[in-house]
Structure 1
Amino acid sequence: MQKQKRRLVRKIAAGGAALLSLAFVPAIAAAQELSDLKSSPPLTLKGEGSFFVGGSTHVIDPKYISPSTFSADSGNSMINQMYVQYQIPQNNIDQYPIVFVHGCCLTSKTWETTPDGRMGWYEYFTRKGFKTYMGEQVGRGRSGFDALNYQKVLTGDLPGSKNPAILIATDKFAWSVFRWGDFDTKTPFKDERFPMQTVGVGKNATLDFYKQVIPDLNSTLSEASSPTCADGNCTPSDPNAPFNSPDNMALLANQLGGAILVGHSQSSGYPTMAALRPGSTNVKGIIQLETGCFSNLTAANIKVLKNIPILIMVGDHFTTAQPPATCVTMQKQIKQAGGDMTFVALPDLGIHGNSHMFMQDNNNLQVADIIINWINKHVRFKNHGHG
């Protein structure tokens, strides 16, 4: 069995070793520091850009508008929109577009150049022929957030206790949640694959990774109904719960005429939630990184999900058994209904040391190849109907 696993790992690694050799347009990436950048082969694109999905307006009373210069009259403010950035390769494959959405306290930077300047998944999946999209969670980064309640507290119209909580991720939070090792002694796991020099460990150490960590404002969302929102942790436990980012992911999949949705950590359950939205008919594949399973699916939910291939992938150094009970339950329900759900723990493939952030680990492209291999085997191609 171990020999089979080693052969599988070698096969996967070999399949992703060669990048597409595309010409004429240089690939320019953005690390935390310009000096961190590693050179990339040229990349030819058919198109690239950005746009917004969803959004709604609400009226802002003059007393909540600042500075006072602009407060003579009420006005409308846009909220609930999702910022999306994309690249379309010159020679794209027939597979559905892939949409990446980041996790807690982060932005789309998660998928771009790694903290130590290597190629990220945004560029790599494009090089592999995918139309590649990155969505920024509603209430985060370039999607903006709803500031009205903060203004109401400022004017005294709301008690301070009603101010939406802001989840602030510290270095200790990152060491714990991202599974890097022991925070107190700053000792990484011996086989840790995250670029630890970017979090202050080892020779030429910096704190570059922390530059991409920002406050989490999910508690400001109009659909933040989770009872845990009081402490800033607003990830729904009910797959059918209203929530802005999955709403917009479903809308984006419909606009694209079909898409493979990828969520990570805090957003890991969002692809499933997006597939279950009323009118959502174009989620063609679900990829949930670092869990995102639901053990409380309804019969109607299972009827939808049995028709969508699902991949759950986790890394290494968990202190609890993998797969978690929620994934065991969900996988059993989906498979009993005739569906296709795969759970992959990287250590089971003989790949050890991966952190919670394996899209930035030193073997991030090897992990990407595992995902691409799963897509090619499980998700039906857009134009030819073969799997």
Structure 2
Amino acid sequence: MRRALALCLTAFAVSVSPASAADAPPAPLTLSLQGSFFVGGRDVSSETLSTLPAYPASGTVTVDQIYVRYQVPVSPARPPLVFIHGCCLTGKTWETTPDGRMGWDEYFVRRGFPVYVIDQSWRGRSAGNVSTINAAKAGKAETGSLPPVFSVGREAAWAIFRFGPEFPKTFPGMQFPLEAQGEFWKQMVPDWSAALPTPNPTVTGLSELAKRLKSAVLVSHSQSGIYPFQTAALDRNGIRAIVAIEPAACPDPAKDDLAPYKELPILVLFGDYVDQSARWAPRLKLCRAFVAAANAAGGRAELILLPEIGIHGNSHMLMQDKNSLDIADWLAGWLDKRVPVKD
């Protein structure tokens, strides 16, 4: 990690939207450390790195690493948080909201948590392997060997992210800032998850990162919801707690070993309209079964639906909803109770 002198950054210096420009700015953000690094990765030698004459086809590249950006407050008093984005997105998920409000990365730094935001392997600033694409393009491999890469259109994403039951209908009282949806759609990127090797290099990278941080809370979302559980099953070292926000999957108590989760604080958090979604209702059911089985096996797991604690109208992208900081404040309180500061 690159060490830096303490610095002050005035929040929203360049990111305030016209709608929020009249709001009083927050106090300057004071950091003791800020920087970025990579975790994991492997070298690949290939004869099909390029099909362009200006760049050699032969050579060695590094793939499977995960990019990590960090901010550490002065005299941090709480455990480090590792934020892991979901399908078709990058670490931008946790940064400034589409309508220009404070993101969770900044909020939790202000609350005294060191914050580490990753780009999943083969996503964003974490490089993938293009060799198979170029091999097929050059006629050196069958087209059937091409990796399965996909993008999700906004019409399908609308229902997946529970802005409404179908595009362009909205759920009543839904909190996502649809007036800024154009900025949100720009966050969407091609997804390589189906092309990744096994074990998923994001999971092995998270394990390495947790060991480096020594007491990390892994905070996942959606597609990545299962990753902290897989990381704990791989190695509990360095993992202080798990927060799975709207996970696409929880461990299956009928198939998976629950021993890795014994005495580990776990929060599974869902927003609103889940029972109205054919995609999300079964996932909630599985997570309920996991929490019950984990606790019966000596776990410390909780499942919370925001409407049941009086927080309503939240989409799947609850960290970007209009009440996102209310949810962040509740989560910070949960962390203070379940993951107290060590002496």
- Structures share fold, TM-score greater than 0.5: yes
Partner residue of 1:274 out of 203, 212, 231: 231
8 Å contact from structure 2 (residues 46, 60) kept in 1: yes
The match for 1:145 is 128
CA contact (8 A) 1:96 1:258 kept: yes
Q: 1:286 to 1:166 in 2, by over 3 A?
A: same
Q: Distance in 1 between matches of 2:70 and 2:13?
A: 14
Distance 1:174 1:53 in 2: 30
Task: Summarize the alignment of residues 162-241 of structure 1 with structure 2, pairs less than 5 Å apart.
Answer: 162-184=145-167, 186-199=168-181, 207-223=182-198
Question: What amino acid is the match of 2:164?
Answer: G
The answer on 1:332 being equivalent to 2:292 is: yes
Amino acid at match of 2:129: D
How far off is 1:30 after superposition? 6.4
Q: Corresponding residue for 1:259?
A: 216
Aligned to 2:75: 91
SS at 1:310 equivalent: strand
Counterpart position of 1:68 = 53
Contact preservation (8 Å) 1:40, 1:119: no
- Distance (Å, rounded) in 1 between the aligned partners of 2:67 and 2:13: 19
Whichever residue aligns with residue 351 of structure 1, its letter is I
Select 1:161's aligned residue among 131, 144, 167.
144
Q: Tell whether 2:331 aligns with 1:371.
A: yes
Distance 2:118 2:183 in 1: 23
Where structure 1 has 5 or more consecutive residues not aligned to the other structure, the ranges are: 1-22, 200-206, 224-241
Contact 1:167 1:217 in 2 (8 A): yes
Secondary structure of the residue that 1:68 maps to in structure 2? coil
Identity %: 36
RMSD: 2.2
Distance 1:52 1:24, change over 3 A: closer
- Matching residue's letter, 1:262: V
**SS at 1:371 equivalent:** helix
- Amino acid corresponding to residue 111 of structure 2 in structure 1: K
* CA distance in 1: counterparts of 2:13 and 2:105, whole angstroms: 10
Between Structure 1 and Structure 2, how many residues are aligned? 330
Q: How does 1:277-356 map to 2 (within 5 A)?
A: 277=234, 279-291=235-247, 292-296=249-253, 301-318=257-274, 319=276, 321=281, 324-356=284-316
Q: For residues 30 and 141 of structure 1, what CA distance do their matches in structure 2 show?
A: 22
Deviation per CA, 1:233-287: give whole Å up to 9, x if none: xxxxxxxxx211111111100011120001100001111111111x441111000
Contact 2:236 2:260 (8 Å CA) reproduced: no
One of 20, 34, 52 as aligned partner of 2:38: 52
Q: How far apart, CA to CA, are the structure 1 residues paired with 2:240 and 2:254?
A: 19
* Distance in 1, Cα, partners of 2:295 & 2:42: 38
* Letter of the 1:283 counterpart: I
Trace 1:4-153 onto structure 2 (pairs within 5 A): 24-28=8-12, 31=15, 38=21, 39-61=25-47, 63-71=48-56, 74-93=58-77, 95-153=78-136
Q: Cα distance, 1:296 vs. partner?
A: 4.2
Instruction: List gaps (5 residues or longer) in structure 2.
Output: 1-6
Counterpart Cα distance in 2 of 1:221 and 1:30: 36
For the residue of structure 2 that corresponds to 1:358, the secondary structure is coil
**Alpha-carbon distance between aligned partners in 2 of 1:209 and 1:29, rounded to the nearest angstrom:** 20
Question: 1:298 offset after TM fit, Å?
Answer: 5.9
Rate the CA distance shift 1:219–1:293 in 2: closer, same or farther, 3 A.
Answer: closer
Q: SS of the residue aligned with 1:247?
A: helix
* Residues 323/245 of structure 1: CA separation in 2 closer, same or farther (3 Å cut): closer
Amino acid at match of 1:365: L
Tell me by how many angstroms 1:114 deviates. Answer: 0.2
Structure 1 position 339, deviation (Å): 1.3
TM-score where L is the length of structure 1: 0.80
| Distance in 2 (alpha carbons) for counterparts of 1:275 and 1:343 | 18
Question: CA offset at residue 40 of structure 1?
Answer: 3.4
